[in-house]
């Protein structure tokens, strides 16, 4: 006997809850401690839960959720709907999940292809990271700026870790091979870095030793004063060719070496200053002598000028050295004397050049002949009464005479 019935379920008099499925009632459970209404309500809530799960799977399929998870959820729902344990339209739920499997199969294929493409892209990106560190490790260690290189290696390692977290998971064999290459390149750089700085330390020690030796030699030149400068310059050339250490050490050593040289040059400056003070009177004497012989600049006779400049230089040399601060101005005045006398000699030579004179005499003879010929032609024209021709010939004669006067003056 039935105690309570709804569209999809009923409760028998022994408390069994049944669901209607394809015109047949199927037992789904019992609720002996409650009323028939409470029993039906309980199993209807179970159906509502199943219906909600079916709706959730449908939404996730539309959203493109992982096909593997969807397949697992759909299988579980199919098993629960295969043997009903709730009260409701069970067949409608079966009808809703039936077409989902085909959609999930398509989604599985699509996601597999996407996964394959993502893995391929991830391999390319990981390869780029490996290639970058391998290119760095292939460089000549002596050409690498190790501070920058270390920062670049750290950045590449961070890229590697971020890529592992964010990119598609690589096949284990591929991932292992790429990591091995990355690690080998990183280790090679570390070895190169250690070797580089060991070599630098070695060079620095050699530089320190050789330059300390040069410093000792430079300091030993101190008692020689200015006479030690040539030897110091030779040491300076050796310094330039010596190996270099780190910058701080180089600065310290150079300061010591330079101080030794400065002492020599200061001694030279002191000696020169003393010498200039001793020669101060010579400077005044030379200035006075220049003033005494200033008439050289107004001379026009080269012989007198030559004799005058000879006497000047004889007395000028006899005076001795002038202070260095006066040498430039004194030399400039003397140079004016020399240039003026040279100019007079050049002009004299120009006028007395034998070859030039011979050429002039020959040309003068030709002019004299031409003048004689023109005068004869003029005389004949006058006798013939040709006054016009006589006048023209007279003009030409005057021109020739003017040329002769110019050549004779030269």
Q: What is the pLDDT of residues 264-310, one digit of tens each?
A: 788 777 777 777 787 888 888 989 988 988 898 888 888 888 888 88
pLDDT score of 1: 46
Assess whether 232 and 293 both reside in one domain: no
pLDDT score of 123: 83
Of the residues 240, 255, 277, which one is the last residue of a structural domain? Answer: 277
pLDDT score of 234: 87
Cα–Cα dist 53/36, whole Å? 26
Assess whether 374 and 396 both reside in one domain: yes
Which domain, by its residues, includes 332?
A: 280-352
Torsion of CA 80, 81, 82, 88, to 10 degrees: 130
Taking only the tens place, the pLDDT of each residue in 142-170 is: 788 888 888 888 888 888 888 888 877 88
Residue 352 structure tokens? 């007395």
12 assigned to some structural domain:
yes
pLDDT score of 48: 92
Please tell me the total count of domains within the chain.
Answer: 5
The DSSP secondary-structure symbol of 323 reads P
- Alpha carbon of 374 to those of 142, 194, 396, 401, 408: distances in Å? 96, 107, 8, 11, 20
Assess whether 188 and 244 both reside in one domain: no
Of the residues 139, 170, 199, which one is the last residue of a structural domain? Answer: 199
Vertex 58 angle, CA 57 and 62, to 5°: 115
Yes or no: say if 358 and 388 are a contact pair by the CB < 8 Å rule.
no
Yes or no: say if 42 and 35 are a contact pair by the CB < 8 Å rule.
no
Assess whether 91 and 13 both reside in one domain: yes
235 assigned to some structural domain:
yes
Closest CA to 289 of 311, 307, 318, 312: 312
Cα–Cα dist 256/94, whole Å? 97
Assess whether 377 and 393 both reside in one domain: yes
**Could you give the percent of the chain with pLDDT greater than 90?**
3
Residue 52 structure tokens? 């909600």
108 assigned to some structural domain:
no
Taking only the tens place, the pLDDT of each residue in 356-403 is: 554 555 666 777 778 888 888 888 888 888 888 788 888 888 877 876
Taking only the tens place, the pLDDT of each residue in 78-122 is: 888 888 888 888 888 988 888 888 788 787 777 777 777 777 888
285 assigned to some structural domain:
yes
Please say if the pLDDT value at position 407 is more than 90. Answer: no
Please say if the pLDDT value at position 256 is more than 60. Answer: yes
Please say if the pLDDT value at position 339 is more than 90. Answer: yes
Assess whether 217 and 173 both reside in one domain: no
171 assigned to some structural domain:
yes
Report the half-sphere exposure of 144 (CA within 13 A, side-chain side).
Answer: 25
Of the residues 277, 306, 324, which one is the last residue of a structural domain? Answer: 277
What is the CB neighbour count within 10 angstroms for residue 57? 21
With 0.85 as the threshold, say if the pTM is over it. no
Q: What is the mean pLDDT of residues 213-222?
A: 81
Assess whether 379 and 331 both reside in one domain: no
pLDDT score of 335: 92
Assess whether 224 and 160 both reside in one domain: no
């Amino acid at each position: 006997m039935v105690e309570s019935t709804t569209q999809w379920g009923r409760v028998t008099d022994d408390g069994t809850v049944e669901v209607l499925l394809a015109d047949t009632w199927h037992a789904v459970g019992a609720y002996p401690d409650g009323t028939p209404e409470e029993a039906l309500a309980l199993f209807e809530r179970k159906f509502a839960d199943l219906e909600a799960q079916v709706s959730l799977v449908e939404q996730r399929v539309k959203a493109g959720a992982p096909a593997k998870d969807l397949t697992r959820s759909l299988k579980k729902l199919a098993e629960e709907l295969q043997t009903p344990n709730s009260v409701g339209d069970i067949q409608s739920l079966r009808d809703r999940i039936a077409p989902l499997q085909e959609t999930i199969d398509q989604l599985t294929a699509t996601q597999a292809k996407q996964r394959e493409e993502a893995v391929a892209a991830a391999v390319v990106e990981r390869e780029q990271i490996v290639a970058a560190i391998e290119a760095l490790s292939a460089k000549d260690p002596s050409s690498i700026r190790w501070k920058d290189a270390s920062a670049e290696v750290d950045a590449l390692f961070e890229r590697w870790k971020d890529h592992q977290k964010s990119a598609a998971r690589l096949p284990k064999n591929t991932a292992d091979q790429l990591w091995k290459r990355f690690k080998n390149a990183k280790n090679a750089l570390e070895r190169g870095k250690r070797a580089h700085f060991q070599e630098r330390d070695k060079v620095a020690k050699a530089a320190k030793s050789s330059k300390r030796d040069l410093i000792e030699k430079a300091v030993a030149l101190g008692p020689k004063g200015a006479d030690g400068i040539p030897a110091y310059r030779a040491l300076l050339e050796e310094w330039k060719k010596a190996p270099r250490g780190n910058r701080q050490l180089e600065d310290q050593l150079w300061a010591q070496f330079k101080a030794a040289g400065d002492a020599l040059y200061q001694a030279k400056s002191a000696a020169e200053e003393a010498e200039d003070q001793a020669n101060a009177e010579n400077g005044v004497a030379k200035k006075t002598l220049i003033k005494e012989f200033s008439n050289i600049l107004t001379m026009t006779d080269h012989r007198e000028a030559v004799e005058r400049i000879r006497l000047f230089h004889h007395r000028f040399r006899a005076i001795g050295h002038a202070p260095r601060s006066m040498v430039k101005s004194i030399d400039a005045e003397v140079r004016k004397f020399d240039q003026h006398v040279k100019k007079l000699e050049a002009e004299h030579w120009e006028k007395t050049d034998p070859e030039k004179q011979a050429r002039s005499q020959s040309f003068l003879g030709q002019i004299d002949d031409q003048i004689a010929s023109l005068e004869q032609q003029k005389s004949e024209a006058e006798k013939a009464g040709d006054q016009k021709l006589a006048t023209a010939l007279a003009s030409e004669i005057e021109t020739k005479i003017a040329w002769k006067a110019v050549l004779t003056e030269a």
